[in-house]
């Protein structure tokens, strides 16, 4: 531990086993000695804080280089003072979602950060970096190149090829997973070769998560590695491998599953769907997921889910010459309707279809609880809704809000509808919010959606959303959340007024 600085060493050893903080040097020592009236533990913590502030303010140069080039002139106009003040306010509140929204709006309006905020903004790490780069301006980019920790903001990862190789070889699991995903975006073959070389030695839970990174840029070249995963001894790894192989329509796995599914599903005119499983599956069936079902699921239902989830929905429209509505209706008349519908719901991830979504949601909503428990119906609807293209979700959400559609649950539909909401949906939501008088399920669903709603409302609805109103006594616990919502609405109105493209 001799290579640690004095303050870090003291913290590691504990104040009972280390020298007094008065012996510390630098700004931390000055702080510790000035706070001698406090307990040793408090002095150490405050000394660490003082050192952190000092390091953020600057540091002593190790050498004095010749002056470099001055910052080039900025081509973007600086953001207005009101927006700058909002940035300071939102950073102080640590509201990452609102900060991201402001930066996105600034980028859309082609405005840059004010110079005085550049050091604080460049200090952000993680996903926020991507939102900061478009609003740095020339001065911000120039400044970022002068600081080792800020330089990576200009490249996204800041990881050289040699450093990436070192992290993959020596890093922790999370570091290796991150560098694998980053490399997969820029050099898929290299990432694949890394994983192929270590796959057998990785822990099973790590194999599954590493394998899932192949979804970025997935291609038939990944099939040999995915086949290793399909034959893995760990069920979680096999599950990930099968899911990815089903996204490769010409993979051997996908072809086998289509052949089995076509043999198992029979369409009889005018509109009858029958299921007939073979007496015995082929040798690869168990590895392909046609194995024993989990508790509570019948064997036939399990097989149907596995088979149908591996094939695009259009397979059945072409094979049987029927519409989604006709196919779901025929499934409902069979003994296997629930298993068929669930398999088709999971197949939405291979290619979403609004017609299939409407047919399946209506089918589940009509089922009696004895046939399909409400919890399972809601889970299926959530899975399907997630798979829908964002542009398709708002229409379903509006129907749920108006009571014309039962699934998914209102709070789920609102949470999964992307920003900005269509004007019609936003106005209906605001009206419904003001009509609530008691703690019904509908009221709770509406008020649960408040925290993110300021960011999803379109500009045309912000004035109406800002109009104050007070909740009746039964709903008073939500008043503070409502007040915060309206504060966020005020911020959004300012952004729309000040940052016009």
- Spatial distance between the Cα atoms of 186 and 375, rounded to a whole number of angstroms: 42
DSSP class of residue 3 equals T
Predicted pLDDT of residue 355:
95
Of 187, 219, 247, the last residue of a domain is: 247
Q: Do 177 and 145 have their domain in common?
A: no
Same structural domain, 167 and 149? no
* Domain assignment present for 302: no
What is the model's pLDDT at position 325?
A: 97
The pLDDT score that the predictor gives to residue 2 is 41
Looking at the structure, tell me whether residues 46 and 122 fall in a common domain.
no
The answer to the question of residue 378 being in a domain is: no
Tell me: do 168 and 126 sit in the same domain.
no
Residue span of the structural domain in which 125 resides:
81-153
325 Cβ neighbours under 8 A, 6+ residues apart:
355, 358, 359
Q: Apex CA 299: angle with CA 294 and CA 304, to 5°? A: 100
pLDDT of residue 300: 94
Task: Give the number of C-alpha atoms closer than 13 A to the C-alpha of residue 434, restricted to the C-beta side.
Answer: 11
Instruction: Answer yes or no: do 99 and 148 share one domain.
Output: yes
**Does 330 map to a domain?**
no
β pairing state of 77-78 and 111-112 = parallel
Q: Are 48 and 111 in the same domain?
A: no
Cis amide leading into 270 (omega within 30): yes
CA 91 vs CA 87, 100, 114, 138: distances in Å:
6, 10, 14, 22
DSSP for 121-170 reads HHT--TTHHHHHGGGSHHHHHHHHHTSHHHHGGGTSS---HHHHHHHHHH
pLDDT for 18: 54
Check whether residue 166 and residue 240 sit in a common domain. yes
Q: Within a domain: residue 454?
A: yes
**Packing angle, helices 188-198 and 173-186, rounded to 10:** 140
Beta 265-268 vs 272-275: how paired, if at all?
antiparallel
459, part of any domain: yes
Same domain, 421 and 496: yes
Q: Same domain, yes or no, for 139 and 172?
A: no
The number of folded domains in the chain is 4
With 0-12 / 13-18 / 19 or more C-beta atoms within 10 angstroms meaning exposed / middle / buried, residue 152 is middle
DSSP labels for 41-61? HHHHHHHHHHHHHHHHH----
Rg, the chain, Cα only: 29
pLDDT in tens, the chain (501 residues): 344 577 777 676 666 665 667 667 788 788 878 888 888 888 888 888 888 787 766 666 566 667 778 899 999 999 999 999 999 999 999 899 999 999 999 999 999 999 999 999 998 887 898 899 999 999 999 998 888 778 767 754 446 788 889 889 998 898 899 899 989 999 999 999 999 999 999 999 999 999 999 999 999 999 999 999 999 999 999 999 999 999 999 999 999 999 999 999 999 989 999 999 999 999 899 999 999 999 989 999 999 999 999 999 999 999 999 999 999 999 999 999 999 999 999 999 999 899 999 999 999 999 999 999 999 999 999 999 999 988 899 999 999 999 999 999 999 999 999 999 999 999 999 999 999 999 999 999 999 999 989 999 999 999 999 999 899 999 999 999 999 999 999 999 999 999 988
Q: Are residues 169 and 149 in the same domain?
A: no
Which H or E element spans position 241?
Answer: helix 235-245
Instruction: Give dist(CA 372, CA 297) in Å, integer.
Output: 12
Which DSSP category does 288 fall into? Answer: T
Is 182 part of any domain? yes
What's the pLDDT at 58? 65
Alpha-carbon distance of 190 to 221, in angstroms, equals: 12
Does residue 467 form part of some domain?
yes
**Same domain, yes or no, for 165 and 241?**
yes
Q: Is 351 among the domain residues?
A: no
From 247, 279, 299, give the residue that closes a domain.
247
* Distance of alpha carbon 171 from alpha carbon 163, whole angstroms: 10
Of 25, 41, 57, the one marking the end of a domain is: 57
Nearest by Cα to 326 from 395, 273, 276: 273
């Amino acid at each position: 531990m001799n290579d640690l600085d004095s303050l870090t060493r003291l913290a590691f050893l504990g104040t009972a086993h280390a020298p007094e903080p008065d012996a510390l040097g630098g700004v931390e020592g000055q702080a510790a000695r000035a706070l001698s009236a406090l307990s040793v533990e408090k002095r150490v913590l405050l000394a660490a804080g003082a050192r952190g502030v000092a390091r953020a303010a600057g540091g002593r140069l190790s050498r004095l280089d010749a002056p470099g080039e001055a910052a080039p002139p900025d081509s973007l106009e600086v953001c207005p003072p009101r927006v700058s003040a909002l940035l300071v306010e939102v950073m102080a509140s640590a509201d990452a979602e609102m900060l991201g929204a402001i930066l996105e709006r600034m980028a859309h309006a082609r405005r840059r950060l004010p110079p005085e905020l550049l050091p604080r903004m460049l200090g952000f790490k993680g996903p926020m970096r991507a939102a900061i780069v478009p609003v740095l301006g020339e001065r911000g980019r120039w400044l970022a190149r002068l600081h080792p920790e800020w330089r990576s903001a200009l490249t996204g990862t800041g990881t050289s090829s040699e450093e990436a190789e070192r992290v993959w070889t020596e890093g922790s699991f999370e570091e290796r997973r991150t560098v694998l995903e980053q490399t997969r975006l820029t050099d898929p073959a290299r990432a694949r070769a890394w994983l192929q070389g270590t796959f057998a030695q990785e822990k099973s839970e790590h194999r599954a998560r590493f394998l899932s990174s192949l979804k970025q840029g997935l291609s038939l070249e990944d099939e040999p590695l995915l086949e290793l995963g399909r034959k893995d001894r760990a069920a979680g790894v096999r599950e990930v491998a099968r899911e990815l192989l089903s996204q490769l329509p010409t993979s051997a796995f996908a072809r086998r599953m289509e052949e089995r599914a076509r043999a198992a599903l029979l369409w009889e005119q005018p509109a009858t769907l029958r299921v007939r499983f073979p007496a015995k599956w082929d040798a690869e069936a168990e590895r392909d997921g046609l194995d024993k079902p989990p508790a509570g699921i019948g064997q036939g239902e399990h097989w149907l889910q596995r088979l149908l989830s591996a094939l695009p929905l259009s397979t059945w429209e072409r094979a049987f010459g029927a519409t989604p509505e006709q196919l779901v209706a025929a499934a409902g008349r069979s003994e296997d309707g629930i298993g068929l519908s669930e398999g088709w719901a999971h197949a939405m991830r291979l290619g979403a279809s609004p017609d299939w979504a409407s047919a399946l949601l209506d089918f589940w909503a009509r089922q009696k609880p004895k046939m399909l428990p409400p919890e399972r119906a809601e889970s299926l609807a959530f899975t399907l809704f997630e798979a829908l293209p964002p542009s398709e979700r708002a229409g379903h959400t509006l129907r749920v809000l108006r009571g014309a559609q039962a699934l998914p649950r209102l709070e789920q539909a609102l949470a999964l509808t992307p920003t900005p909401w269509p004007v019609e949906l936003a106005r209906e939501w605001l009206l419904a919010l003001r009509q609530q008088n008691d703690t019904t399920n509908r009221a709770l669903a509406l008020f649960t959606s408040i925290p993110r709603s300021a960011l999803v409302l379109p500009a045309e609805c912000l004035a109406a959303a800002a109009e104050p109103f007070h909740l009746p006594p039964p709903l008073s616990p939500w008043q503070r959340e409502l007040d915060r919502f309206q504060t966020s609405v005020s911020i959004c109105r300012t952004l729309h007024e000040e940052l016009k493209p």
